[in-house]
Amino acid sequence: MTVILNQSFTGVSIGAVLLLIALGLTLTFGQMGVINMAHGEFIMAGAYTTYVLQKPIGDAGVSLLLALPVAFLVAGSMGALLEWLLIRRLYTRPLDTLLVTWGVSLMLQQLARDIFGAPNVQTTAPGLLTGSVSVAGVNLATSRLFILGFALLCVAGLAAILRTTPLGRRIRAVVQNRDLAEVSGIATGRVDRTTFFIGSGLAGMAGVALTLIGPIGPTTGTNYIVDAFLVVVVGGIGRLRGAVITAFVLGLLQSVLEYSTTVSVAKVVVLVGIVAFLQWRPQGLYTVRTRSLV
């Protein structure tokens, strides 16, 4: 029983990290059909922001709280800049965007290596987040609980923005029908940039959260990016609900399989499962219904 609970908690916390990363992706991928391989490097930027802030501030708790908005701004600005410089020129070529942003990601990784050095660095977690609480005989690491809570908060916040604000309405309009939105007077270019800013900013905050569970390095983002993309592919684009369900299901699946087999076998089984799932729902779990030929 304890084992099951333990594994479930591990799975849920893997899912929470995946969710945090996939949230930004599903936004940009859903709206613009853009595969941003540099998303992982925005995570890395957020993680290094925490590291940089911690030195002058000293207090781990204050610096972590401060790092969240700062990382959002840093990663968001990087994303907006990338959108403005490159991505908006490539809207008709989504596959090429993938390769171009991969090139950007290579350069950003090397930049991090040049600035911070190749070895991983470790930030100090605030005292509150280093222990664990025991519930029903299961030790729950507080850092993991924090990430879970933070991920859910981000989902709620993003959902609220999308559902209630004028910006959210514009974003949804562009996702559903870009051409119609444009003739209705929505400045789709500006909406795109804002979306990219928010999506990349979310990646930055995910990076801050990642500093709590391990050392960070130039390849921190790359380690998560493929899994995060799989979440988006399975969850379906442009819908938060799909990303939330998929992230937790994949996280649980991963942790259960890792427990009963090995890490490497788990990866292969999850991938086979995803290909099988796409046989059933090639557009992913949830999708924006359109009449266009897919």
Partner 1 sequence: MTTTSTPPTAAPATEPPAGPPETPFLGRFLGRFRTPAAFLLGAVLLVGVAPLVLSDFRLGLLAKYLCYGIVAVGVSLAWGRGGLLVLGQGVFFGLGGYAMAMHLKLADAAATGETLPDFMLLYGTEGGLPWWWQPFANPAFALAMTVVLPMAVAALLGALVFRRRVKGAYFAILSQALAAALAIWLVGQQATTGGTNGLTGFQGFFGYDLNDPINQRMVYVVIAVALLLLMAAARQLFVSRYGELLIAVRDSEERVRFLGYNPANVKLVAYVVAAGMAGLAGALFVPAVGIISPALIGIVPSIGFVIGAAVGGRASLVGAVLGAIAVAWAQSTLSDAWPAGWTYLQGLLFVVAVGFLPGGLASLRTVLRRRRTSSDRVGATKGVTT
x-marked contacts with partner 1 along 10-39 as a string, rule CB under 8 A = -------------------x-xxx-x----
x-marked contacts with partner 1 along 203-242 as a string, rule CB under 8 A = -------------------x---x--xx--x---x-----
Q: Among residues 65 and 268, whose Cβ is nearest to partner 1?
A: 268
Token pair for residue 157?
Answer: 């916040």
Which is it for the CA torsion 9, 15, 19, 21, positive or negative?
Answer: positive
Find the binding residues for partner 1 in span 58-87 (CB under 8 A). 86
Shortest Å distance, C-beta 288 to partner 1: 7
Number of residues lying near partner 1 (CB under 8 A) = 55
**Closest among 11, 51, 31 to 197, alpha carbons compared:** 31
At 138 the three-state DSSP class reads strand
Residue 189 interacting with partner 1 (CB under 8 A): no
Q: Among residues 152 and 274, whose Cβ is nearest to partner 1?
A: 274
Q: Among residues 130 and 262, whose Cβ is nearest to partner 1?
A: 262
Token pair for residue 270?
Answer: 């999850």
x-marked contacts with partner 1 along 134-173 as a string, rule CB under 8 A = ----------------------------------------
Rounded CA separation 119/188 (Å): 42
Rounded CA separation 286/266 (Å): 25
Beta-carbon-side half-sphere exposure of residue 56 (alpha carbons within 13 Å): 5
x-marked contacts with partner 1 along 88-107 as a string, rule CB under 8 A = -xxxxxxxx-xxx-xxxxxx
Token pair for residue 213?
Answer: 């569970």
Q: Which amino acid is at 280?
A: W
The residue within the footprint of partner 1, chosen from 3, 58, 134, 279 (CB under 8 A), is: 279
Q: Among residues 31 and 143, whose Cβ is nearest to partner 1?
A: 31
Angle at 209 (CA atoms; ends 208, 215), nearest 5 degrees: 80
Burial class (CB in 10 A: 0-12, 13-18, 19+), 152: middle
Rounded CA separation 230/220 (Å): 17
Q: Among residues 103 and 127, whose Cβ is nearest to partner 1?
A: 103
Rounded CA separation 213/47 (Å): 11
Contacts to partner 1 by CB under 8 A: 29, 31-33, 35, 86, 89-96, 98-100, 102-107, 109-110, 113-114, 177-179, 222, 226, 229-230, 233, 237, 262-265, 267-268, 271, 274-276, 278-279, 282, 287-288, 290, 292-294
